[in-house]
Every structure is written in structure tokens, then in C-alpha cells.
Amino acid sequence: MFTSCDDDNSNELDGTGTARLEATDAAVDAENITGVFLSVDEAQFIANGQVQNSIMFESPKEFNLMDYQNGETYILGTAELEAGAYDEIRLILTSSNQAYVKYVNGSTDEIDVPSGSTSGYKIMGDFDVMANSMTELVLDVDLRKALVKKGNGEFNLRPTARLIAKSTAGMIKGVVDEDNMQDADKVVVYAYLEGTFDDSEMNEPTEGNSRFENSINSAVASNLNGNFTLAFMPEGDYELIVATYKEDQLLGGLEFDSATKVEVSIDGETTSVIEVEARVVTNLLINLFQ
């Protein structure tokens, strides 16, 4: 029996498998931005610092990350890989037009991606490829954290993206009670691993960082019905923070107002900790503490 089990494990790691690569996003904070575009020449699969294989494009793949939120993804393609353990993806960006933001008025600004067209935009994360099987991978760029504006007004794309295997991820879908939506122009739900949230994360961030920096994921609650989706969540126990934002009539844009730890109702039970399991959708109703 032990010999048979060992043979099965050996077979899983002997040969080649296929990896499919997709990209997704959480909402960017700036209200006047309608698009954040990446232009990709190649997607590299890395193990121990070495390129094992790539998805190559005949012409650059240009797409707007902001079009793929709430569990929607942009499929970059597939690659055949030797079965085994991998730890990184690199997007090699087009040298002439790596990335840019597009505003409501149609104007654009370039985004600085350090080494984006040489060593590439790096996304770290461990995943396994099994022989004769498909491994589905998602790059969650999460522009809320990755896209920052420096003191000189230039945009920078930070290497904060997450790499998730779909087989190990779950999803939280929920509703923020409409009574909690009335006085806010925008409501965002942030997910933290249990015990990792600190009140200091509500403070004005230092240059190059974002508010709620250590959150694992975030989602904007719909102004119409309070619905939100936290997609591609690694298994674990989480606490949710609901933050409200109000429009600044003088300066324009949205300003942070307040944040609250929440209790949630799961199957009639009230708790502040939500367990996420792989391939399971957890449905919540959020009521803020009064």
C-alpha cells in the first residue's frame, strides 16, 4: 500500500502539466481614473529564479485591469510546464508602452514600472504543477495597493500583486446593510487575516504606500444594493473592515471618513471571524457596530 501511494505521488511529478494564467483587479481608489492599461509581451513561469517556460504573444497583449473585478478575469493564455513547484510569475512589459492610466476626460499618463520591460513585473507566490493536469492561476494586481502616485505626480506600479491557484482559493460574497450606505459616497470592504488589523492602518499613508496596506483583499460595495465580492481568497480565517469615503467638494475626489470592524451573520450565527475554504462561496450580511 505504501509503495502504491509513493508511485502515485511520483507519477504526479513525472511529466508535464498545463498552467493557465489569468489577471484580475480590485478597485482603484481614484475616482477620475477610468482605466489602468498594461501592455504585455511575455509571461514567464519561474522556479528557483530560473525561467522554465513562457507564454509568448505575437503582438503585445494590452488590456484594462479595471475591466476585470469582482471575480472577473482576463485570460493571458496557457503554457506547458514540467511538473513540480514554482514560485513566481513575471510579466515582461512592452518597452515602448508598458503601462498607463486613462482619465474620465480621455487624457492619459504613463505608469513607471521599474524593470518592467527587462526583468519584468514580478508576482511572487508558490504553486504546484501536476503531470497531465491543468493548474489555473490568477494574478491579482489589486491596483488600490499597487498603483501609487509619488510626490512628483508620477504613477508607480508597486510589486504587491498576489499569485493565487484557483484550487486553493475561496470567495466571500456579501451585502453591506443599506442603512450603513446612506451617508457614504463610497463603501469599501477590506479583508484581513485574523488578528493582523491595527488601528494605525486608518492613518494617512506615507508616500508610496496605501491606507489599509496589510489587507489581503478589498472590494467596493455597490451604491445600489450594497453587494460586494471578495474573490480569490486564500484559505484561512479573516476579519472584515468596512470603510466609508465621502466626496470632497472643494478638492474633488473622495476622502477617507471612517472604518469599523464588523460582525457578520453566517447561518444565523453572529461572529467577527470568517472562515474561507477552497472552492467555497461564503455569503454574508454585514451589520456595523453601533
Cα 52 from Cα 150, distance rounded (Å)? 35
Q: Are residues 217 and 283 in the same domain?
A: yes
Domain enclosing residue 257, as ranges: 170-288
Q: Are residues 94 and 114 in the same domain?
A: yes
Mean pLDDT of the chain: 89
Give the separation between CA 76 and CA 265, rounded to whole angstroms: 37
Q: Which of 66-70, 90-94, 163-167, 266-270 has the lowest mean pLDDT?
A: 266-270
Is 272 a member of any domain? yes
pLDDT digits (tens, 9 = 90+) for 79-96: 999 999 999 999 999 998
Does residue 176 share a domain with residue 71? Answer: no
CATH code for the domain in which residue 247 is found: 2.60.40
Same domain, residue pair 241 and 207: yes
Give residue-wise pLDDT tens across range 13-44: 789 999 999 999 976 666 688 899 999 999 99
Q: Which three cell numbers stand for residue 67?
A: 475591466
Q: Say if residue 191 is in the same domain as residue 280.
A: yes
Distance CA 222, CA 178 (A): 10
At which of 105, 129, 160 does a domain end?
160
Q: Is residue 155 domain-shared with residue 201, that is, in the same domain?
A: no
Q: Quick one: 89 and 132 in the same domain?
A: yes
Q: What is the pLDDT of residues 172-188, one digit of tens each?
A: 999 888 776 778 888 99
26 touches 69 (CB < 8 A): yes
Q: Which three cell numbers mark 190?
A: 477590506
Total domains in the fold of the chain: 2
User: Per 3-state DSSP, what percentage of the chain is helix, strand, and coil (rounded to 5)?
Assistant: 10, 55, 35
Residue pair 207/150 in contact by the 8 Å Cβ criterion:
yes
Residue 239 lies in a domain: yes
One domain, residues 140 and 194 = no
The mean pLDDT of 234-263, rounded to a whole number, is: 87
Q: How far apart are CA 63 and CA 289, in angstroms?
A: 40
Answer yes or no: are the C-beta atoms of 30 and 146 closer than 8 Å. Answer: no
145 found inside a domain: yes
Q: Which helix (H) or strand (E) holds 3?
A: helix 2-12
Co-location of 191 and 137 in the same domain: no
pLDDT 10s digits, 250-285 = 666 788 999 998 887 667 778 889 999 999 998 887
Q: Which residues contact residue 182 at a Cβ distance below 8 angstroms, ignoring those fewer than 6 apart?
A: none
Residue 28, amino acid: V
> Given 95, 128, 160, which residue is the final one in a domain?
160
Task: Report how many helices (DSSP H) and strands (DSSP E) the chain contains, helices first.
Answer: 2, 21
State pTM to two decimals.
0.88
User: Do residues 209 and 148 touch, judged by C-beta distance below 8 A?
Assistant: yes
Question: How many residues are present in the chain?
Answer: 290
User: Same structural domain for residues 12 and 153?
Assistant: yes
Q: Indicate whether 226 belongs to any domain.
A: yes
Confidence of residue 224 (pLDDT cuts 50, 70, 90): confident
Dist. CA 160–CA 147, nearest whole Å? 9
Same domain, 244 and 179: yes
Structural domain ending residue among the three candidates 128, 160, 192: 160
Residue in the block written with cell 470568517? 274
- Of 15-19, 54-58, 107-111, 254-258, the poorest mean pLDDT is in 254-258
* Residue 281 in domain: yes
Indicate whether 81 and 178 sit together in one domain.
Answer: no
Cα–Cα distance for residue pair 232/220, rounded to 1 Å? 15
pLDDT of residue 207: 83
> Is 254 part of any domain?
yes
Task: Return the pLDDT at 5.
Answer: 43
Per the domain annotation, does 165 fall within a domain? Answer: no
Residue whose C-alpha is closest to residue 22's, from 54, 58, 68, 87: 68
